[in-house]
């Protein structure tokens, strides 16, 4: 369950930014989780709600999760396609010379503070 480590890291990063900007309270945060980041959203949200209560500046912080679609690029035909739908083999030319463009990220998109 690596979600716990990601939750700790995200909360620490958000708290640091809030304090650097003299915020009194973090109202909400939006995180981008890639479709193939291996983070299970339900586990992440449960752990977030458990951990955020321990941080005064973030005690009631609401979390929004935005899923980033996984997109793969084919080096042979130079087309992109849905990674989750087609996997590693290009659906256009059947090449295995592909790589992931997006979908593995874990980003803090925005933070609302007062």
Q: What is the pTM (predicted TM-score) of this model? A: 0.84
Number of domains in the chain: 1
**Per-residue CA distances from 4 to 1, 44, 79, 89, 95 (Å):** 6, 7, 36, 32, 37
- Closest-CA residue to 37 (of 9, 74, 76): 9
Q: Which two tokens stand for residue 10?
A: 């995200």
Range(s) of the domain holding residue 76 = 3-113
The pLDDT score that the predictor gives to residue 2 is 80
Q: The domain that contains 60 carries what CATH number?
A: 3.30.2320.80
User: 49-89, pLDDT tens digit by residue?
Assistant: 999 999 999 999 999 999 999 999 999 999 999 999 999 99
């Amino acid at each position: 369950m690596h979600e716990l480590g990601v939750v700790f890291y995200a909360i620490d990063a958000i708290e640091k930014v809030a304090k650097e900007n003299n915020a009194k309270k973090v109202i909400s945060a939006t995180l981008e989780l890639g479709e193939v980041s291996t983070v299970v959203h339900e586990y992440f949200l449960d752990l977030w709600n458990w951990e955020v209560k321990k941080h005064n500046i973030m005690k009631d912080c609401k979390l929004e999760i935005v899923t980033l679609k996984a997109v793969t690029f084919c080096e042979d035909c130079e087309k992109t396609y849905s990674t989750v739908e087609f996997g590693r083999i290009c659906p256009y030319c059947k090449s295995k010379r592909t790589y992931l463009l997006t979908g593995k990220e874990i980003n803090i998109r925005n933070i609302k503070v007062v």
